[in-house]
A and B are shown apart, each in its own frame.
Chain A
Amino acid sequence: MLSYRRRGQEFATSTEEAIGVVRCFNSGHGWGSATFATLDEVRSAISTAHEFSLALPTRHSIRLSELPPRQADIPCPEGRDPRAIDVAIKRDFVRRGVESLRSVDRRIGDVRVKWEDQLTEVVVVNSEGMVLVERRPSISMTALAVAAESGTVERALGSCSTAGALHDVETWLGGISAISERAVAALHAVPVIPGRYPVVLAPTFAGLLVHRVIGHRCAAGWHPGAALLPIGTRIGPDSLTIGDDGKTPGLRGTSAFDCEGTQPQNTTIVQNGVVVGHLHTRASAGAAGLGATGNARAPAAGFPTSRLTNTYLAKGMGTGADLIRDLDLGVYLGEPLSATDDGMVTLRAGLGRMIRRGELAEPVKGASLSGDPLGLFGMIDAVGADFTWDTAAATCSLGGQTVPVGSGAPHIRLVEALVGDQS
């Protein structure tokens, strides 16, 4: 990990981490699990996990969905091992990022650029004969630009993530100055006037909304005790098709197998506006009498639960410009900053634009999109064809467990949504 700020380099550090976890259940009992740091400790961890399981009688027996055992050893894709990249090249990437951010405007003050790469070797074995090994490379860069003028301070953020492909980082670096441009533009952006507007969401914003509201509610591990959206629930118009795709190469949530050894798949969870599927671990699938979907995920030593991988809203018709063209007045939200979902969903936007007479007009800041979670999807009246996967270094945190995720969507339009002002 390398980090630079305006004043110069902040730090350079490296970490070697080794951790494993054994989990175990006995018929009529619950799950026991124990971690280990070295192979010498595995036998003791198995014994502890076994004892812990026996200590927990359960009302319902755990049933795992069937999974044929297989063996595979998947090497790091050729040319993608970040350890082979000379550290001078990594430092050069970061310095170029800092220079590009600073060169945009004299009002850019502090900037920060961070490089982080890792190679993770994941091994999954089970008592049914599964033995899987995969080496997963990852490179991410994050950038922050701070613009200041006459006491007003504005920030903009950006990031990219790739499965070890240096040219992806190079491409992102080529457009990094847009982050500074957003920070500068925000200096003179006006606060949005709160109210109900037609709202057009950029693909990154739409992707976050889909992940947060529909994806979470269709993954069996999203909240303890929380009910999943029932199969057959209509969430919006026929133009909505939503899925979770853990197998498309190069995305943040992609892997050859999940924490239980199941091969991730492309699972449709909403078809033509109606919920048609859920995302499962072997245990949640077993309880539902279904097959696992390859969504058992957890950080290194966590307990796998059903989590999203790369969630997407499939493309519809038209471009972003098409969605804007017939609006006399509306709001365009292009940069999601954060999302909360606690009965009401609120997504906070960075820089946005007003839409006037069918065109993007003056920049606005401090806008937020709020509403009843499913109600927001009922407001969607157009889905664009300009689908893109977001390449940002996104993560999803639930119950203290953070996993990398991807999202993808085209532009979408909400016919009348509540836009708030946080400025």
Chain B
Amino acid sequence: MITDLLDGVAPLVTAADAVLKTDETVTVSLGSDGVGRLERHSGMGCHLRVLKDDRIGMAGATDGRWPQLRQAALDSVAVGPLGSLLLPAPAPTPSVHTADRVALSAGPMQLLDLAKSVARRIEEDRWQVDVWAERSAGRVEVANTRGVVADYEQTLVGVGATILDTKNLTPIPLSLQIVGTSWPTGLDAEALVTTVMEWLSPATLDRLPSPDPVRVCLGPRAVRALLRPLELGLLGESVFDGSSPFRDRVGDVVVPDLLTIVDDPTIAHRPGSRPIDDDGVVSHRQSLIDRGRFSGWVSDLASGARLGIPSTGHARRRPHTPPRVAYSNLMVGSGETPTAEFLNEGEVIVIEDVPIPRGNVMDGRVTLVTPWAYWMSEGERVGRLRSATISGNVYDLLHHVVAVSRESQWVGAWCGPSLLLDGIEVRVR
């Protein structure tokens, strides 16, 4: 179908490419008020980009009316930017598992059973529990006028819970979820329930067990928030327009050598897995930070053309927004120390989760505030802190990392280990 769209526009332009995404998502939500919702969202979206008279035009549509979409893209050429569109040529794509047969065939009743099974295991009198489960199944088609024609199926399944501890003086909702391309196993669901219990069960501490400085263990979710400035700084656009702290520093040591970061769309069954990006560029593993050295960035065709650099295959296109650069599966390398070793010695503050810093934090300045922090003594969770706050510059804070855990955890399309930090200030209540 996407080739029909391109065939119709090809004679009128110098070059063109398009991406077409179809999707059906079914979501079940079981509310703590006893009312459930079962929703089906089906849709399609197409983004068409053309090069004509050295100008780039683009348009999107969700209604499948190709003549109107073609005309809108051609009309936008008149006001579009001057530029080039160096489309990729056809090339072999890697075999990447992006869809799961069980997830593809799952219907609303299976989702309902999944949500109910999680809800039953979490239910407690003192908690208000809302559970949701979602399955999305879709298809992505990519094509261009140089002959690239590719498509792949994609599934995504998630199950999550939001729990409110109503006995707590200041109720704080806990939201946790697991997301992948495969249907969750019993172990996945059990892991979700176990995490809920571990986080919510400890009583809140009225006072700190010790006034002495302690080490801080950041769990994978908290590490993800801490490293947000690096995610922004590793966008090719930032590196080459000078706003990234990594500008002109390819090959330099920019963070401690305990840290390695890669983006890998080719690994199987993860939310960002794909054989080809939305520009038709074949997917490959991209090294970003290699043992502390700045080794690469991510870019798409549009930003690459503007900056005179090649695309790394990280385009994401949707019908109602211009193309943008996006990570696929972002992975932080694990270390050698078992997490248990972090926690079994002395006093440790464990920070499990922190909201991702919003806005432009590329310069590294962050304030991370969380209610999901615990005091651990000799491996025992003594209690939950009312809140923990870390303020400072991420690039300084990373110099306090003394160990990286051997275990990693997936959080959506992000995977990373726990970090142990020494000598940082944590304000706790």
Asked whether any CB of chain A lies closer than 8 Å to the CB of B170, the reply is yes
Closest to B81 in A: A9
CB neighbours of A342 from chain B (8 A)? 172, 355, 369-371
Tell me which of A7, A16, A18, A48 contacts B40 (CB under 8 A). Answer: A48
Instruction: Tell whether A34 pairs with B59 under 8 Å between CB atoms, given A15-B319, A422-B391.
Output: no
Q: Are B38 and A52 in contact (CB under 8 A)?
A: yes
Asked whether any CB of chain A lies closer than 8 Å to the CB of B93, the reply is no
Least CB distance from B252 to A in Å reads: 15
Asked whether any CB of chain A lies closer than 8 Å to the CB of B404, the reply is no
Instruction: Tell whether A34 pairs with B39 under 8 Å between CB atoms, given A8-B81, A12-B79.
Output: yes
Q: Are B32 and A52 in contact (CB under 8 A)?
A: no
Report A1-25 residues with CB < 8 Å from chain B CB: 1-3, 7-19, 21
Closest to A34 in B: B40
Tell me which of B36, B40, B109 contacts A30 (CB under 8 A). Answer: B36
**A337 to B164 CA separation, bound complex (whole angstroms):** 28
Q: Are B367 and A420 in contact (CB under 8 A)?
A: yes
Instruction: Tell whether A346 pairs with B369 under 8 Å between CB atoms, given A14-B76, A91-B79, A224-B32.
Output: yes
Asked whether any CB of chain A lies closer than 8 Å to the CB of B363, the reply is yes
B220-250 interface code vs A (CB 8 A; 1 in, 0 out): 0000000000000000000001110000000
Asked whether any CB of chain B lies closer than 8 Å to the CB of A343, the reply is yes
Q: Are A344 and B387 in contact (CB under 8 A)?
A: yes
Asked whether any CB of chain B lies closer than 8 Å to the CB of A134, the reply is no
Asked whether any CB of chain A lies closer than 8 Å to the CB of B304, the reply is no
Asked whether any CB of chain A lies closer than 8 Å to the CB of B366, the reply is yes
Tell me which of B34, B68, B365 contacts A60 (CB under 8 A). Answer: B34
Asked whether any CB of chain B lies closer than 8 Å to the CB of A59, the reply is yes
CB neighbours of B79 from chain A (8 A)? 2, 12, 87-88, 90-91
Q: Are B358 and A32 in contact (CB under 8 A)?
A: no
A67-85 interface code vs B (CB 8 A; 1 in, 0 out): 0000000000000000000
**A9 to B40 CA separation, bound complex (whole angstroms):** 39
Q: Are B81 and A10 in contact (CB under 8 A)?
A: yes
Tell me which of A11, A16, A337 contacts B63 (CB under 8 A). Answer: A16
**A59 to B119 CA separation, bound complex (whole angstroms):** 14
B134-145 interface code vs A (CB 8 A; 1 in, 0 out): 000000000000
**A17 to B47 CA separation, bound complex (whole angstroms):** 12
Q: Are B172 and A225 in contact (CB under 8 A)?
A: no
Closest to B61 in A: A16
Q: Are A56 and B81 in contact (CB under 8 A)?
A: no
Q: Are B164 and A15 in contact (CB under 8 A)?
A: no
CB neighbours of B59 from chain A (8 A)? 13-16
Q: Which of A243-251, A365-373, A383-391 participates in binding chain B?
A: A365-373
Count the A residues whose beta carbon is within 8 Å of the partner chain — how many? 70
CB neighbours of B80 from chain A (8 A)? 9, 11-12
Asked whether any CB of chain B lies closer than 8 Å to the CB of A132, the reply is no
Count the B residues whose beta carbon is within 8 Å of the partner chain — how many? 78
Q: Are A35 and B41 in contact (CB under 8 A)?
A: yes
Least CB distance from B160 to A in Å reads: 10
CB neighbours of B68 from chain A (8 A)? 16
Least CB distance from A352 to B in Å reads: 14
Closest to B45 in A: A17
**A34 to B32 CA separation, bound complex (whole angstroms):** 22
Tell me which of B34, B42, B69, B371 contacts A35 (CB under 8 A). Answer: B42
CB neighbours of A90 from chain B (8 A)? 79
**A3 to B56 CA separation, bound complex (whole angstroms):** 13
Closest to B247 in A: A153
Q: Are B40 and A33 in contact (CB under 8 A)?
A: yes
Least CB distance from B171 to A in Å reads: 6
CB neighbours of B60 from chain A (8 A)? 13-17
Report B53-85 residues with CB < 8 Å from chain A CB: 56-65, 68-69, 72, 75-76, 78-82
Instruction: Tell whether A225 pairs with B32 under 8 Å between CB atoms, given A17-B320, A346-B367.
Output: yes
Asked whether any CB of chain A lies closer than 8 Å to the CB of B35, the reply is yes
Asked whether any CB of chain A lies closer than 8 Å to the CB of B37, the reply is yes
Least CB distance from B307 to A in Å reads: 9
Asked whether any CB of chain A lies closer than 8 Å to the CB of B130, the reply is yes
A224-B130, A343-B170 known; 16 new pairs, CB 8 Å cut-off, are A13-B76, A15-B60, A31-B36, A37-B42, A37-B63, A56-B28, A56-B38, A60-B34, A110-B242, A153-B243, A155-B243, A342-B369, A343-B172, A344-B387, A370-B367, A422-B391
Going nearest first, the 9 A-B pairs with the smallest beta carbon separation are: A59-B34, A343-B371, A9-B81, A30-B36, A224-B130, A52-B38, A225-B128, A56-B36, A15-B60
